[in-house]
Amino acid sequence: MSSTQNVDQTEIDKFSQIAERWWDPEGEFKPLHIINPLRLSFIETESDGLFGKKILDVGCGGGILAESLAQRGADVTGIDMAEASLEIAQLHGLESGIKVAYHCTSAEAFAAEHAGSFDVVTCMEMLEHVPDPASVIKACTDLVKPGGKVFFSTLNRNVKSYLLGIVAAEYVLQWVPKGTHQYQRFMKPSELMKIADHAGLIPRSTTGIHYDPFNQQFLLSNKNIDVNYIIHCEKPAL
């Protein structure tokens, strides 16, 4: 599938309609605000620090993770296909004073011009929103430097993830808008690792993002990766 085809306009429109609420900590993106410190900590630890590194955030949305990475002293670029979300990201950057370079483009198109340019590439909660995730994974591999790090996060595909990721999150707890996720686009970790390996990445570590209903907070744990999970990969050095 070519980069021009690897876009689901329905997904772009869906996020564009609620773009102005990206930075509302109590709005539709509340879960991202809650888990952002967790994923930032994992990325920073597995990358041996972020200060001074060139980082690309693929599918950056309104810039929640991108700004956090920049706050750690990284040189951050964010790309997304939803122009409305990028406008919000740029506006928030002006308000916060945190510098991030944003571009409205696909991972594939950006990789064609910036191959091997980044120390770290992140692609969080994005693979389940594109028709061809393997194409995005290959683009992320191309974009990172030899010896660099790539991070993917998405949803596992099983009964538990369906019940928690869709039924509970969208309909019972209403953490995210109904229709945010499509179960058939969830990816088993083994599937993601196989694609990453084929693209030329070496999976290094995996962790799950879990919700503790008793303390009403999220936490990272590698005890299971049944629902939300993050995979840390590395591109072999030359």
Residues belonging to the binding site are 39, 59, 80, 124
Residues belonging to the binding site for S-adenosyl-L-methionine are 39, 59, 80, 124
CA atoms of 200 and 234, how far apart (whole Å): 9
CA atoms of 214 and 91, how far apart (whole Å): 37
Give which of 122, 149, 142 is closest to 199, Cα–Cα. 142
CA atoms of 117 and 170, how far apart (whole Å): 37
User: What is the three-class DSSP state of 124?
Assistant: strand
Give which of 137, 215, 175, 226 is closest to 28, Cα–Cα. 175
Contact 135, 113 (CB under 8 A): no
Give which of 156, 185, 180 is closest to 166, Cα–Cα. 180
Q: Which residue has the tokens 């999976």?
A: 203
